[in-house]
Chains A and B, each alone.
Chain A
């Protein structure tokens, strides 16, 4: 939200003090200005170099260290990465609403961040049909995240079908842990 507000203020010219970043294409060459003394000899009229303020834009795809740390912080909701489903269900239950809001906010605030959502099923039935069912789960999570403001191209949805169970048993206790979507961020896959 803060990012959106800043962007809006920038475009309206309301922020002063060089706080607005511009994209590289828009930006004129900035840097050290070298001056030559009237006599033509360097050093005769030396002034302190005062580079103009540069508003940096990082498009290398790395969220800030603090943002990355938040993803791993067990006390931060962003470290929660799994969404579990009822039998034969693909919709995200209400209890995961705040989890998805937090991840959507992270994607909004870190537009270079990338996410992979892996859908999973329990072991019953055809392996390939389960790949398709897992895809339906990961697609459902992506849809919610984009409705909450994440950009479509930030998120890739895939399915692992029944191939990567979290629990190894053959009963509902295990199956309920295996019907899930897992969220991974760029660098984790």
Chain B
């Protein structure tokens, strides 16, 4: 518990000012999809915080596409986590799951949320926990509650407490921003008059590598989120781009033109040591991404005449072609469980996100827009964040890995692009 308090207070320092507000628009493209009805009774005492914690929890769970909030009439007295549950009564309200809780205000000004999750169908409690938080961190606390509920009911970790990074362009100004996974509490890490592309989170979530054009050419930086230190890690003669973290957090794959062409190299993420070249072709080799187990590097190459996805051992060597359908398959992103590869494919001039099942080679195009870029898996593999263009403006969009649920995060003002979904927060 003290750890969580520390974490939440740390987050308050890190996320001091909200720069941009985002509103989520959820589009469930398959209305037949089964969404589990869940009753989340407003927590007794939450009014003292000034923000409805349970409203944030409900919005989180609905955004996953797996849940539908059940309307609950005002109950008197308001039930808490200690109130005995009448399963028959909640069954008659057509809820499959129930969350009851309360918020206590401590004398030191902190709050404590305590809650319990119930399976109404099986008539069994699923678990209970309490979190302490400060007023500024009510959203972070609500995301923790949603993660707990999600995990107790689905058996999988939730991603509501994770963060996303992306680039916003307004005229000639570029900002690298981070925000909560729901697009709220956005703030910038870097503001520049030159483009910023390809942000990627380090495995532990405390560093972001990206490419900045501030020196009139692409240079790779590692940005430390806590102290805002930024370090040049690749500024060789020529172009330096496409950073990717190895799962150990110590190694970066990058694409350099220093030896001619565009080839993949490994570097130490702290900038020490020498570069190690691991691709060796006369063609373009770019967009490296490590598999979650660190054994493979997936990358884009035009060695076969058109850009396609290949993979090689993470130490280099022979490459194996992975995509075959179509003449333009780029931006490979292996899923966290290693079973699926997301990438961008061109179909009749439209750029869309496709998923390739690596065991049976089945391909499924999961978006229907036409300028999709930069797919990024949620750390639990359930959703994919991507950049697309709607009405001439860059927006972020999220699609469930089965393609049935789509969401948009239309930020106020500017073009939003280059999304990167951060890791689980410990």
Which residues of chain A have a CB within 8 Å of any CB of chain B?
116, 118, 124-129, 131-136, 139, 156-161, 163-164, 170, 184, 189
How far apart are the CA atoms of A118 and B260 in the complex, in Å?
14
B307 at the interface (CB under 8 A from A): yes
Residue in contact with B286 in the complex, picked from A116, A128, A184, CB distance below 8 Å: A128
* A156 in complex: contacting residue of B218, B238, B330, B344, CB < 8 Å: B238
B338 within 8 A of A: no
In chain B, residues 325-379, which have Cβ atoms closer than 8 Å to a Cβ of chain A? 328, 330-331, 344, 346, 351, 373-374
Q: In B48-107, which residues have CB < 8 Å from any A CB?
A: none
B166-210 CB contact bits vs A (8 Å, 1 = yes)? 000000000000000000000000000001011000000000000
Contact A127 B238 (CB under 8 A): no
Contacts A118-B217, A126-B300 given: A135-B330 contact, CB under 8 Å? no
Residues of B within 8 Å of A189, CB to CB, are 216-217
10 closest A-B pairs by CB = A158-B217, A163-B195, A132-B262, A126-B330, A132-B284, A132-B286, A189-B216, A128-B242, A159-B239, A131-B241
Instruction: Judge if B418 is at the interface, Cβ distance under 8 Å.
Output: yes
Neighbouring A residues of B330 by C-beta, 8 Å? 125-126, 129
Q: Bound state CA distance, A157 and B258, in angstroms?
A: 9
A49–B216 alpha-carbon span in the complex (Å)? 51
Query: Are B198 and A116 in touch, CB under 8 angstroms?
Result: no
A125 touches B346 (CB 8 A): yes
Give the residue of A116, A125, A131 whose beta carbon is less than 8 angstroms from that of B328: A125
Bound CA span A170–B415, Å: 15
The residue that B242 contacts in the complex, of A131, A139, A163, with Cβ under 8 A, is A131
Q: Which of A132, A158, A170 has the most CB of B within 10 A?
A: A132
Residue pair A135, B198 in contact (C-beta under 8 Å): no
B346 touches A135 (CB 8 A): no
Q: When the two chains form their complex, are residues B216 and A116 in contact, meaning their CB atoms are under 8 A apart?
A: yes
Interface residues of B (CB under 8 A from A): 195, 197-198, 211, 213, 216-218, 237-239, 241-242, 255, 257, 260-262, 284, 286-287, 300, 307, 328, 330-331, 344, 346, 351, 373-374, 392, 418
Once the chains are docked, how many angstroms separate the CA of A184 from the CA of B215? 13
**Choice from B211, B213, B216, B373 contacting A126 with Cβ under 8 Å:** B373
Chain A residues, CB < 8 A from B257: 135, 139, 157-159
Give the CA-CA distance A143 to B197 in the complex, in Å: 28
Q: How far is the CA of A127 from the CA of B419 in the complex (A)?
A: 12
A116 touches B261 (CB 8 A): no
Q: Determine the chain A residues whose CB is within 8 A of the CB of B242 once the complex forms.
A: 128, 131
Task: Check A116 against B195 for contact (C-beta < 8 Å).
Answer: no
- 20 interchain pairs, CB-CB under 8 A: A126-B287, A126-B307, A126-B374, A127-B197, A127-B418, A128-B198, A128-B331, A129-B284, A129-B300, A129-B330, A131-B255, A135-B262, A139-B257, A139-B260, A156-B217, A156-B237, A158-B216, A158-B217, A161-B197, A164-B195
- CB <8 Å contact, B287 and A129: yes
Alpha-carbon distance between A128 and B256 when the two chains are bound, in angstroms:
12
Distance in angstroms between the alpha carbons of A128 and B289 in the assembled complex: 12
Tell me the bound Cα distance from A164 to B255 in angstroms.
20
Residue from the set A157, A158, A159, A160 with the largest chain B CB neighbour count within 10 Å: A158
